[in-house]
Structure 1
């Protein structure tokens, strides 16, 4: 220490250990705050990546208690506004159209506040534009939004483009949502191989198997699916059309609509994994065991709100 040694590392040494040690020594408290970005992408259309992203974000905000922002980058078909029963303002589209002008005040006006700790950058979900937006604009907007909350959930569309590639490689965490079929397996492998190649010193993408156990459908077992990709599934979500369908039609999250189901438990688990935080315990009645907090969130009829907005 007298010779100026600030830290020592013990072999065998991994690149991430060295990066973390140096980053800790040279961390500047005066630098702007940057939240953690978590990108969700479907291995194929209909895999349910948006539903997984939205429910995980809600679990992070309500169960873990961390401020969270959802960014819906599926500009023509995004469902974040529907899933949270919110009017889909042109928040993301407006931000992408003027990335250089974004400041905290403008960002706050563009966001929709869903709960005290969850905000939403909704997609316009219209076909009035071709949405020809540069890769640099997506990168700049994502960077600006990361200054607003500890966790930024990127809900990415099922397409491939230069901005998608850059967003996936730049994200702090990538979650690939797949269904247990051959097309999902092929696409997930292609995605994971590319992401691993683009960020060799970062953690590999996480795999979530969704809609497992669909009646009558031959499926690739989760163990074999993960083995083919070289990863263990972080989560396996059982098929539950009634629970998910009812929640979607009412603009609710699974934690509100069916808090005691396996799906609700799965999203809380995934929230802990990607946020790297534990669920806080909430004191109950005297002598009762502590339990995770349960959010209070009301939701109006989604169908009624849609017809009201269209008038």
Structure 2
């Protein structure tokens, strides 16, 4: 590993001395300046820009403005902010000021080493993304279509529909498809595809100020079906630092380089995921032929209307429909006062097999009636794409 050039801007003389001692024990670090005054640190950056800045936030966060100034003038520098305590507000302030990581006092040497190493990995990913950028298909005049798959009733098959719709769209080798798992509480799209993610949505958010259509590619996981996946967090506790602005930035970056962005949503409304509704070209509302599910969806449609969501973008998808069941497609339409746009069907054994094997049904069993219905749904939606607002 090449030595990382570091500038330290501490909050106090005691902190400065402690951090200098820690940094001297890291063999891949070259400390080129350690200061307490902002002016001195800025002058050092002008003379010899560093790879990493360790910046104390100050007692009242007075260093956020300085951090933002550094990140604006030297976006290639990795800033690690040092905070006095862990609070959601301070974390957000630090990240939006340009920090790529946050350390909480007192700082353990191993945590400092890990933070610096993560910055090193990030810089390598940025370099790789820039090298590969000319090979990517970036549309300048047309944004990709966003298919948001949603239901406020659990167990209706949102993830199954999301995965198989994405895989069906990816059968066209000329199209680029990405699946975003926004079920931040219980997301399992990666597991259903037999993927074990190295990066999740939290890793993207750690570098949210610098996210663009090139950099975000380095966080995606390719699947043999042809789709790429941005997984949800494996630890729900990380979700408290995700907000609606993060989601908007991520989805807009993906629309720039993918033909289709499929979003697997959580089973509830809340502010963080609202951009996935606002940016949707198609909102696939999933229901099943059960009284509880249909009534739940009826209430959901009322909420969407109250939110002024464009009714022309709503697509009702009936999943797990069995011809032998008591509730028919016509019953669902009558209850919802809205036509069913697509009906997938029911095949418990085949669906379970495909999920266990991590292979989308449309690839595992392409001649299955469910696969044919998903292909038909895909074609129908492609031919009936609403105009963008």
Tell me the TM-score normalized by structure 1: 0.72
Distance 1:102 1:33 in 2: 19
Distance 2:356 2:323 in 1: 20
Give the Å deviation of 1:128: 4.8
Is this contact kept in 2: 1:93–1:124, CA < 8 A?
yes
The reply to whether residue 244 of structure 1 matches residue 351 of structure 2 is yes
Structure 1 partner of 2:293: 184
Which ranges of 4 or more aligned residues in structure 1 deviate by more than 6 Å? none
Structure 2 partner of 1:264: 371
Identify the structure with the greater helix proportion: 2
- Give per-residue Cα distances to partners, 1:186-220, cap 9 Å, x unaligned: 221222233345446561411111112297xx643
Is this contact kept in 1: 2:185–2:266, CA < 8 A?
no
Structure 2 partner of 1:284: none
Structure 2 partner of 1:86: 195
Give the Å deviation of 1:277: 8.0
Structure 1 partner of 2:303: 194
Structure 2 partner of 1:173: 282
Distance 2:168 2:217 in 1: 22
The reply to whether residue 138 of structure 1 matches residue 284 of structure 2 is no
Alignment gaps of 5+ in structure 2: 1-138
Residue in structure 2 matching 1:96, options 205, 228, 247: 205
Distance 1:51 1:116 in 2: 14
Is this contact kept in 2: 1:195–1:205, CA < 8 A?
no
Is this contact kept in 2: 1:66–1:117, CA < 8 A?
no
Residue in structure 2 matching 1:113, options 222, 233, 250: 222
Distance 1:96 1:182 in 2: 39
- Give per-residue Cα distances to partners, 1:209-238, cap 9 Å, x unaligned: 1112297xx643211211222222122222
Which structure 2 residues correspond to residues 70-81 of structure 1 after superposition, within 5 A? 70-81=179-190
Is this contact kept in 2: 1:192–1:204, CA < 8 A?
no
Residues 197 and 99 (structure 1), Cα distance of their counterparts in 2 relative to 1, 3 Å cut: same
Is this contact kept in 1: 2:152–2:266, CA < 8 A?
no
Local SS of the residue matching 1:203:
helix
- Give per-residue Cα distances to partners, 1:288-307, cap 9 Å, x unaligned: xxxxxxxxxxxxxxxxxxxx
Aligned length: 247
Is this contact kept in 1: 2:225–2:363, CA < 8 A?
no
Residue in structure 2 matching 1:123, options 224, 229, 232: 232
Structure 2 partner of 1:7: none
- Give per-residue Cα distances to partners, 1:134-192, cap 9 Å, x unaligned: 11111121111111201100110112201334422331110011111222112212222
Local SS of the residue matching 2:283:
strand
Residues 115 and 65 (structure 1), Cα distance of their counterparts in 2 relative to 1, 3 Å cut: farther
Is this contact kept in 2: 1:71–1:122, CA < 8 A?
yes
Residues 277 and 179 (structure 1), Cα distance of their counterparts in 2 relative to 1, 3 Å cut: closer
Local SS of the residue matching 2:198:
coil
- Give per-residue Cα distances to partners, 1:253-295, cap 9 Å, x unaligned: 11222111111101101111233389xxxxxxxxxxxxxxxxx
Distance 1:46 1:91 in 2: 23
Distance 2:296 2:241 in 1: 25
Distance 1:106 1:135 in 2: 20
Alignment gaps of 5+ in structure 1: 1-29, 279-311
Local SS of the residue matching 2:178:
strand
Give the Å deviation of 1:111: 0.6
Local SS of the residue matching 2:242:
coil
The reply to whether residue 220 of structure 1 matches residue 308 of structure 2 is no
